Amino acid sequence: MVGRIPVMDVTPLVDLGRQPAKATVGEPFPVTASVFREGHDKLGAEVVLVDPTGRRRPPVRMVKDPDVPDRHVAWVTPDAPGAWTFEIAAWSDPVATWQHAAGLKIPAGVDVELMFTEGRLILDRVLSTLDPRDPATAEATTVLQGALEAADDVERPAAARLAALQAPDLQAVLAAHPLRELLTVEGPYPAYADRPKGLFSSWYEFFPRSEGATRDERTGTLTSGSFRTAAKRLDAVAAMGFDVVYLPPIHPIGEVNRKGPNNTLDPGPDDTGSPWAIGSRQGGHDAIHPDLGTFDDFDAFVGRAHTLGLEVALDLALQAAPDHPWVTSNPEWFTTRADGTIAYAENPPKKYQDIYPVNFDNDPSGICQEVLRIVRLWMSHGVRVFRVDNPHTKPVAFWEWLLKEVRRTDPDVLFLSEAFTRPAMMHALGAIGFHQSYTYFTWRNGKRELEEYLVEVSRESDHLMRPNFFVNTPDILHAYLQYGGPAAFKIRAAIAATGSPSWGVYAGYELFEHVAVRPGSEEYLDSEKYQIRIRDWDTADREGRSLAPYLTRLNEIRRAHPALQQLRNVTVHWSDDDNILVFSKGAADDVVIVVVNLDPHAARETTVHLDLRALGVGDHEAFVVHDEITGADWTWQQHNYVRLDPYHEPAHILSVRRSR
């Protein structure tokens, strides 16, 4: 039944409370509810967090939403990983009810002494609730007794007596010691707090077979890179400030129906095939491609990464090449068509003849246990992060089971969902346990759609999924990057690195790789999915043809500013130009304003208009902003002129330093 004080429409609430809401150690999250009652008496409400050990944390008072009637909100912060709950308590508030009535009646000369008598009775009740063991009791007692004397002092003017009962020190005591009548408690509601890396991370993706690969200039023979040669690239990745290095599948690649360059069907004898066509006579998901090395080599690679402060994320692609050992040992794990052949993967218009998707319905227990075995195998080799390929093509119930099994014993292991699909599926995968999710960010390039998307991921779906803004992937090269020139790469990196606490870059981005296989396609020409790509990093750096210094600076800014390490703190501001995006993020005293010219071809100048309340700045107050990219300082206020030239710097990343 509804409580005596109704508490309704509670958020965050996932799947009617069957799944925990997303939370992260150290990140505040909002608890909201509609709290109301009959009549005109006032009420109060608060949120109590209960930590994974069952300890109740101090209550956090809810405040009314200024824009939505009866809506209340409190921000609470878990400080340890694990399963938390929260409760909402609401009550009739006789103190606030009296304060409201006294503030109206006494100045009007209505029931003056009666109001003071009632006020005195309320103060006596508060005084009786004080704990003598509390060090703050003595000071609170002094304040309350002074207020009682004022209420009783009929020699003073009524206005002076009322002022004493409205004094700030008394209001603080009354707020700290509320009188709760008709107490109603709703909950508990679940939330799960993951380690900070689940929210804040900077990803860099590369193919280890390309790093350190060589081609003999005389014979043209291509020699694959290995874990030993790829490990040499880790220093540069760490130097750019990334903290997760993501490897596409490292397993043996199928030989049957192997793809050639640019996804062709006629590979040559030396073509390497797609790493996502997993499995051959050399092994499956629990094996390493022999060109990359051995498990000892992999362990050394992971060890080197850890030394540099990098975590290794491994691709978990639950599919098989036609010659994967599973096809022979467990044919029931695949779908057989009417003609007796096994169905290969399709995502029209794309066809993947070299990949068999797994059927989870014929032997669900068998495939579940096999996948869990594989995940735990790689966990035993130091992998604590998995990037999951196309999870939306597998049953949600399977993922829920797998992620709960892993969380039960290893709650620090993280899973990134690569599901570019319908919102309901993306949200469901996040709700059942995926820690991060790829997003539609790659396809959000205009001002209005970026504004809407920043609000969506930070306020509307934040309890379900955490976004990871990848600027590119091996098979997503947006037209904006194809035709926008180097400025487009800066623009997208600046938005991704500041708009989301997690972001990612696929290797070659810093070299401005932008040529598609054909007009209208988002596939790279000579895609690294199908062939080894040799890059001359050193020459690009030496000749100044690399975006690496800019990416490095972005990651430095992210680490220096707690505001950029959170998700739920985005405020979209305004500009007079349809190509100037303005938003800010704040965390306590740290406030960052981002202003970006979305036009990679032309300078734009306009006026930006700021919501000063969101910045923690007073009305009409001037303040200093520091450009974290250029080092310049300006004095800003509510309305500010900006000019951004994409051939110089297309974005301001401004930290609010102090007022003047």
Active-site residue, selected from the candidate residues 389, 462, 510, 577: 389
End-to-end CA distance of the chain: 55
What Cα–Cα distance (Å) separates residue 444 from each residue in 327, 449, 475, 639? 40, 6, 17, 27
Q: β-pairing, 345-347 with 244-247?
A: unpaired
Cβ neighbours around 221 below 10 Å, total? 10
| 205 is an active site residue | no
> From CA 440, how far away is CA 601, in angstroms rounded?
24
Query: Residue 373, SS3?
Result: helix
> From CA 324, how far away is CA 278, in angstroms rounded?
7
> From CA 116, how far away is CA 106, in angstroms rounded?
9
> From CA 516, how far away is CA 65, in angstroms rounded?
49
Q: How far is CA 382 from the centre of its chain?
A: 24
| 118 is an active site residue | no
Closest C-alpha to 203, from 471, 480, 562: 471
Active-site residue, selected from the candidate residues 87, 243, 418, 577: 418
Query: Which helix (DSSP H) or strand (DSSP E) does residue 575 occupy?
Result: strand 574-575
Peptide bond between residue 269 and the one before it cis (omega within 30 degrees of 0): no
Radius of gyration of the chain from its Cα atoms, rounded to whole angstroms:
30
Instruction: Give DSSP secondary structure letters for 565-634.
Output: G-SS-EEE-EESSTTEEEEEEEETTEEEEEEEE--TTS-EEEEEE--HHHHT--TT--EEEEETTT--EE
Q: Give the CA count within 13 Å in the CB-facing half-sphere of 282.
A: 16
Judge whether 508 and 535 are in contact, CB under 8 Å.
Answer: yes
Sort 249 into a burial class: Cβ within 10 Å, 0-12 / 13-18 / 19+: buried
Closest C-alpha to 465, from 473, 474, 456, 476: 456
Query: Residue 294, SS3?
Result: coil
Closest C-alpha to 401, from 372, 425, 441: 372
Residue with tokens 């051959």, as numbered in its chain: 280
Please report, as a single letter, which amino acid is at residue 551.
L
Helices and strands in the chain, H and E counts: 18, 32
Q: β-pairing, 623-627 with 633-636?
A: antiparallel
Q: Which residues are catalytic?
A: 389, 418
